[in-house]
Chain A
Amino acid sequence: MERVIVEDKAAFLKKKEHPWLSVGAFILILLLWEMVSQLGWIPPLFLPAPSAILLEGWTMVKTGLILKHLFASLSRILLGFSIACIVGIAVGVLIGFFHIPEAIGNPFIAATFPIPKIAILPLLILWLGIGEPPKVAVIALGVFFPMVINVYTGVKNVDPLLIKAALSLGSNRRRIVRKVILPSILPMIFAGMKLGIGIALLLVVASELVAADAGIGFMILTAADLMQTKKLMVGLVVLSLLGIFFNWLFQKLEHLFIPWKQP
């Protein structure tokens, strides 16, 4: 007979966090990049040093150039995104909860959803001219689909028991939409918004590459045309920060609006 001492075989499943490793590796890569550029191993025309990008960015902030482009892009995003959210939620609830709109709406969504929205931009320009409208429209279209599909799925997955409970407490169908369906799908709405904002960033840049006179995308394109790599890189950094900011914002909003969700 042997003695066996029991060991925890599942120890590796425990989640270990390495905050210093994350920060350290990030800084190390930046330093390497800085070194590579400073030593002239890669010409600054192709890859400017992080310090140079930072400096360029700071000057652009001071001259108000970034603010101008940021404002142009942000206003397009906000407008397109808001329209898409409102219409997407309305349509999603409609086709999710009522079967006649579902029967009519579903084929249209199935047919238009697969089209890359950027491919519709030329048509939108043809219809709406070269100003702001097609840019806002392409963002709205791009955000609309993840929104409508998320909301539709959310409505389909509302716990039928909650609807029965509401019915037994005297709710009619309209009130069920407002008091049961909408709060039930809030998490799905937020998931749709998070997906949508990524798409909005993509589409705002793409739309600004065509017939624009301001915006982060426009700034990047003109910088590239003039071989101003530093300025181009600043544009990319701004986009990265914008993405991080929106993620953070939606996280906060989600906590604010869905206090009943378990952490």
Chain B
Amino acid sequence: MKVLIDHLSKTYIDRKGESTEALQDIHFAIEENEFVAVVGPSGCGKTTLLNIIAGLLSTSSGQVIFEGVRRDSRPPAGIVFQEYALFPWRTVLKNIVYGLEERGLKRDEQLEIAQHYIGMVGLQGFEGKYPHQLSGGMKQRVAIARALVNDPSLLLMDEPFSALDAQTRILMQYELSRIWEETKKSILYITHHIAEAVFLGDRVVILSRRPGRVLDIVPIDLPRPRAEHLTTEKKYLEYVDLIWGHIKDQAKEVLEERP
């Protein structure tokens, strides 16, 4: 399985007819089992890109192609949103089985699959809780499990940990790294956090400020499994520095143009 983002552009046109170019000629591919992180200054169209790949937004030109996917009723891409987007009227378990319900699986099959992912993300004992009873980190675990149950070809993650506090965020990065080792999913991971992108990604795509263009694609040659000690290693810090060098001026410009 491979996802090709083929010369994608997106221009928004508002009610007054004024157009804003959000993305400009984005072109890269996500290979099988590859973890691709996308970083960029705020307003670079990261979320627009994700929505287009998810099939929730139209392109202005270019296309997104999933090559070599299964032909069945399963949606090819699962999404984890920054704001969790859990169904508040469903318990943890019912949230997780949602996608399985939509596929028409039997109750016991649903439970069996759900149990596997509940174990994977560490939610045992929380199955009957409602989302409002959970902490942010736990909510995001539910969202990850919910996206994984359908075994999507591609997992899209839209700044999944940026609503979490700094400590929880670091722990969730370790968790995600472990989950990736376990599932070897193709992941497109949107973040504005450079260290996070380096820690998790096989490659880091750097987008420019609006209109978002690909400034550079940096392959991250760090050993896997990625673990805590990595964050103090020289090579890791060099990558962070390199990417920050690309983004710094862009971010400054964004900062200055804001009223």
In the assembled complex, the Cα of A179 lies from the Cα of B132 at a distance in Å of 19
Q: How many A residues touch B, CB cutoff 8 Å?
A: 21
> Interface majority SS on B: helix, strand, loop or mixed?
loop
Given contacts A164-B79, A165-B79, contact A170 B74 (CB under 8 A): yes
Min C-beta distance of A158 to chain B, whole Å: 11
With both beta carbons as reference points, the residue of chain B lying nearest to A259 in the complex is identified as B130
Q: Which residues of B contact A159 (CB under 8 A)?
A: 85
| Cβ 8 A contact of A168, one of B78, B87, B130, B132 | B78
Q: Which residues of B contact A184 (CB under 8 A)?
A: 89
B130 touches A161 (CB 8 A): no
In the assembled complex, the Cα of A186 lies from the Cα of B90 at a distance in Å of 13
The number of inter-chain residue pairs (CB within 8 angstroms) is 60
> Interface majority SS on A: helix, strand, loop or mixed?
helix
B85 touches A165 (CB 8 A): yes
Min C-beta distance of A180 to chain B, whole Å: 7
In the assembled complex, the Cα of A194 lies from the Cα of B77 at a distance in Å of 42
Min C-beta distance of B110 to chain A, whole Å: 13
Residue ranges of A at the interface with B (Cβ–Cβ < 8 Å) = 159, 161-162, 164-171, 175, 179-180, 183-184, 186, 258-260, 262
23 interchain pairs (CB within 8 A)?
Answer: A159-B85, A161-B81, A161-B83, A161-B85, A164-B51, A164-B56, A164-B79, A165-B81, A165-B87, A167-B56, A167-B75, A168-B54, A168-B56, A168-B75, A168-B77, A170-B74, A170-B75, A179-B98, A180-B87, A183-B87, A260-B89, A260-B131, A262-B132
Residue ranges of B at the interface with A (Cβ–Cβ < 8 Å) = 51, 54-56, 73-75, 77-79, 81, 83, 85-90, 98-99, 102-103, 130-132, 146-147, 150
